[in-house]
């Protein structure tokens, strides 16, 4: 057994207290770290955790809730889900029929919250500003809008807006999802084209609507006129029938009244006759009178009855005549109503024909006049282009000619400058003998002078030239060498004369000619003919 002293017990209590405090501090530190690294995602943002994450992805995106971000191996960032409005000013987009249209529109896009698309946004858009995201989205939308418009005609774009918007939604959303975005809404503000085709379609639709409205108005007026005529005719028929029945009832009542009155009178007469006959029976004298009165009463009765029947027949005939007049009046009114109906129908047909005429004129203006105007504008544009091309060609030729003349002038100037430099050097070489310079220049030009002299005699027809030379100077005759020297000496005076006319001095080796000197020229006649030599 071990016995613990109070001092041991006190030391053990302090150690336990220290351990408890350390454990509490560790737990508090762990809780603080966990609370600080546990990140909650707001509803209007996407939480992106990147670094070492599960799976093969480089980042993982969360919308709503929270997630623990491991220190050192992971980090986090937020992306906004607020919508972005992008104005797309799409112009000169080529449609299916090669008509360029302008479709300005407004797109509202945002980062998607679908898991896969949201991860695409985390990989491709994290850290970008809203302006940079809008620029990327604008490029994608422009490309897809041009692609969609290229698959549709002007009529489909302008009239079937539901199909157009459906294609825009499918294509644009498919491409935006690749970078993590999706399209919330699209608003097509207007659709116009450069050639005025949509405006022409609107004018055509307006013209057709106006023509259809005119036709419907004419048909309604015609139906109203026909219905009114039928109602009037039925009213007149019923009024005539009621009037006829009224007259017939009136005549029937008058006839019945007369018949009853006659019957009563006949009954009264018959009673009186019966009374008289009784008296005649009593009184014989009155018997004959009673019989005569009886016969007379019967005769009067038959006459009255015949008169009443004749009156009744006359009344019936009058009623029939009235009915015939009513029927004639009704027939006239029916004919008049039919005539008014035909007139209304003719007017309606005339309005229809006018509407068809206006429609045909509008169609001709669209299909013929518009084509002619386009062709005329095309011819004018081609003519202006041809005139501009000719102006440019003429301007180019003028520039080329000017450049040629400038080059020639520059070349001539350089040649003259070179000659001037050569002349200066020639004068410098001559030194004090300035008279040698012209002589040297003339010697330089002698080949050209000889060439000109050759040209002067080149067309002469010379069969042949034969020179006979004995090689001896007997009898005072000189040989060929002598003749050459003699001829050269004889040519000196003309050369000196030419030099004097040119204002130059010949070298002293060629001698001088004074005004008093004279040279005897030897003609061909003075040359002795050589003797014939055999061999």
Q: Mean of the pLDDT values across residues 30-35?
A: 69
- Smallest Cα–Cα separation from 192: which of 143, 145, 158? 158
Residue 473 lies in a domain: no
279/371 same-domain check: yes
Same domain, 233 and 351: yes
Predicted pLDDT at 107: 93
What pLDDT score does 407 carry? 86
Q: Of all residues in the chain, what percent carry a pLDDT higher than 90?
A: 5
Q: What is the pLDDT of residue 528?
A: 41
Residue 288 banded pLDDT, cuts 50, 70, 90 = low
Same-domain pairing of 152 and 239: no
Residue 517 is assigned to a structural domain of this protein: yes
Q: Which residues contact 218 (CB under 8 A, 6 or more apart)?
A: 347, 348, 351, 352
* Shared domain check, 270 and 209: yes
CA distances from 233 to 226, 319, 325, 332 (A): 10, 22, 16, 10
Asked whether residue 465 is assigned to any structural domain, the reply reads no
With contact defined as beta carbons under 8 Å apart, do 496 and 515 qualify? Answer: no
- What Cα–Cα distance (Å) separates residue 143 from each residue in 108, 110, 138, 147, 271? 17, 19, 9, 6, 124
At residue 457, the pLDDT reads 66
439 token code pair: 């002589």
| Together in a domain, 212 and 151 | no
- Tally of domains within the chain: 4
The residue-averaged pLDDT of 228-239 equals 80
Same structural domain, 272 and 364 = yes
Q: Say what the pLDDT of residue 2 is.
A: 45
Q: Is residue 157 part of a domain?
A: yes
Chosen domain end from 58, 74, 90: 74
pLDDT at 6: 52
pLDDT at 534: 35
> Residue 511: which domain range?
431-457+479-527
Q: Which candidate, 408, 366, 412, places its Cα nearest to that of 197?
A: 366
Q: Is the pLDDT of residue 535 over 60?
A: no
| pTM, 2 dp | 0.36
Q: What is the pLDDT of residue 518?
A: 43
Asked which of 145, 160, 195 is the last residue of a domain, the reply is: 195
Task: Report the alpha-carbon distance of residue 260 to residue 273 in Å, rounded.
Answer: 19
* pLDDT given at position 85: 92
Which is higher by pLDDT, 433 or 406?
A: 406
Domain-embedded: residue 20: yes
Q: Write the DSSP string, 169-238.
A: HHHHHHHHHTTTEEEEEEEE---EETTSHHHHHHHHHHHHHHHHHHHHHHHHHHHHHHHHHHHHHHHHHH
Domain membership flag for residue 469: no
Query: Of the ranges 7-16, 49-58, 484-493, 516-525, which is most confident?
Result: 49-58
Query: How far apart are the C-alpha atoms of 319 and 307, rounded to whole Å?
Result: 18
Q: Are 145 and 88 members of one domain?
A: yes
pLDDT tens readout for residues 170-219: 999 999 999 999 899 998 888 888 777 777 676 776 777 787 777 888 77
Q: What is the pLDDT of residues 79-133, one digit of tens each?
A: 888 899 999 988 888 888 788 888 899 999 999 888 888 888 888 888 888 899 9
> Do 334 and 234 have their domain in common?
yes
Going by C-alpha positions, the residue among 249, 248, 155, 160 that lies closest to residue 197 is 155
User: Which range is least confidently modeled, 8-22, 150-164, 460-474?
Assistant: 460-474
Report the interhelical angle of 197-282 vs 285-364 (nearest 10°). Answer: 180
Average pLDDT, the chain: 76
If asked whether residues 258 and 373 sit together in one domain, one would say yes
In a domain, 426, yes or no: no
Given 372, 397, 422, which residue is the final one in a domain?
Answer: 397
Domain assignment present for residue 236? The answer is yes
pLDDT of residue 532: 41
pLDDT of 270 above 70: yes
Least confident of 98-102, 252-256, 337-341, 495-499: 495-499
Structure tokens at 440: 């040297």
Q: Is the pLDDT of residue 142 over 80?
A: yes
Q: Check residue 365 and report its DSSP letter.
A: I
- What tens digit of pLDDT does each residue of 353-410 get? 888 888 888 777 777 877 788 888 888 888 888 888 888 888 888 888 888 888 888 8
Task: Quickly tell me which residue has 């200066």 as its tokens.
Answer: 424
- Distance (Å, rounded) from C-alpha 110 to C-alpha 503? 102
Give Rg (Cα) of the chain: 70
**Residue 370 corresponds to which tokens in the numbers above?**
């518009």
In 3D space, the residue among 47, 36, 49, 37 whose CA is nearest the CA of residue 75 turns out to be 49
Q: What is the 3-state secondary structure (H, E, C) of 46-114?
A: EEEEEECCCCCCCEEEECCCEEECCCCCEEEEEEECCCEEEEEEEEEEECCCCCEEEEEEEEEEEECCC
Contact in structure between 221 and 351 (CB atoms under 8 Å): no
Q: Are residues 226 and 347 in the same domain?
A: yes
Q: What was the pLDDT predicted at 451?
A: 75
Helices (H) and strands (E) in the chain, counts: 10, 9
CA atoms within 13 A on the CB side of 354: 11
Considering only CA atoms, which of 365, 95, 55, 341 is closest in space to residue 204? 365
For residues 70 and 95, state if they share a domain.
no
Mark whether 346 and 388 lie in a shared domain: yes
CB 34 within 8 A of CB 68: yes
pLDDT at 526 over 70: no
């Amino acid at each position: 057994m071990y016995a613990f002293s109070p001092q041991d017990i006190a030391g053990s209590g302090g150690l336990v207290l220290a351990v408890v405090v350390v454990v509490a501090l560790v737990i508090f530190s762990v809780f603080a770290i966990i609370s600080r690294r546990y990140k909650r995602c707001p509803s209007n943002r996407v939480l992106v955790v990147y670094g070492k994450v599960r799976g093969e992805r480089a980042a993982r995106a969360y919308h709503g809730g929270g997630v623990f971000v491991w220190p050192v191996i992971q980090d986090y960032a937020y992306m906004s889900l607020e919508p972005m409005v992008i104005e797309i000013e799409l112009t000169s987009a080529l449609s299916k029929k090669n008509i360029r249209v302008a479709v300005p529109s407004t797109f509202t896009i945002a980062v998607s919250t679908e898991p896969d698309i949201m991860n695409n946004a985390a990989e491709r858009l994290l850290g970008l500003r809203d302006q940079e995201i809008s620029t990327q989205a604008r490029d994608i939308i422009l490309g897809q809008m041009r692609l969609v418009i290229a698959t549709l005609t002007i009529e489909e774009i302008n009239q079937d807006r539901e199909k157009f918007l459906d294609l825009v939604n499918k294509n644009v959303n498919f491409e935006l999802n690749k970078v993590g975005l999706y399209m919330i809404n699209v608003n097509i503000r207007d659709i116009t084209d450069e050639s005025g085709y949509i405006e022409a379609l609107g004018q055509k639709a307006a013209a057709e609507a106006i023509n259809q409205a005119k036709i419907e108005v004419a048909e309604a007026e015609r139906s109203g006129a026909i219905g009114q005529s039928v109602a009037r005719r039925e009213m007149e028929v019923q009024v005539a029938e009621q009037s006829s029945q009224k007259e017939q009832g009136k005549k029937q009542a008058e006839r019945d009244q007369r018949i009853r009155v006659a019957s009563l009178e006949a009954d009264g007469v018959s009673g009186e006759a019966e009374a008289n006959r009784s008296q005649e029976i009593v009184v014989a004298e009155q018997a004959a009178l009673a019989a005569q009165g009886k016969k007379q009463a019967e005769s009067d009765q038959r006459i009255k009855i015949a008169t009443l029947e004749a009156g009744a027949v006359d009344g019936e005939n009058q009623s029939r005549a009235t009915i015939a007049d009513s029927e004639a009046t009704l027939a006239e009114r029916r004919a008049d109503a039919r005539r008014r109906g035909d007139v209304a129908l003719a007017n309606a047909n005339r309005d229809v024909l006018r509407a068809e005429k206006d429609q045909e004129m509008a169609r001709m203006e669209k299909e013929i006049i518009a084509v002619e105007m386009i062709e005329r504008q095309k011819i004018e544009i081609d003519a202006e282009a041809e005139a501009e091309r000719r102006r440019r060609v003429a301007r180019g030729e003028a520039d080329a000619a000017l450049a040629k003349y400038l080059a020639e002038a520059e070349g001539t100037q350089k040649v003259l400058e070179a000659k001037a430099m050569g002349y200066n050097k020639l004068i410098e070489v001559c030194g004090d003998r300035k008279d040698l310079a012209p002589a040297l220049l003339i010697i330089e030009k002698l080949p050209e002078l000889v060439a000109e002299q050759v040209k002067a005699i080149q067309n002469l027809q010379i069969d042949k030239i034969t020179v006979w030379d004995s090689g001896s100077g007997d009898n005072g005759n000189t040989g060929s060498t002598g003749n050459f020297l003699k001829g050269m000496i004889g040519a000196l005076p003309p050369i000196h004369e030419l030099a004097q006319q040119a204002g130059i001095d010949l070298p002293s080796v060629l001698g001088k000619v004074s005004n008093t000197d004279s040279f005897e020229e030897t003609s061909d006649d003075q040359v002795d003919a050589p003797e014939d030599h055999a061999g």
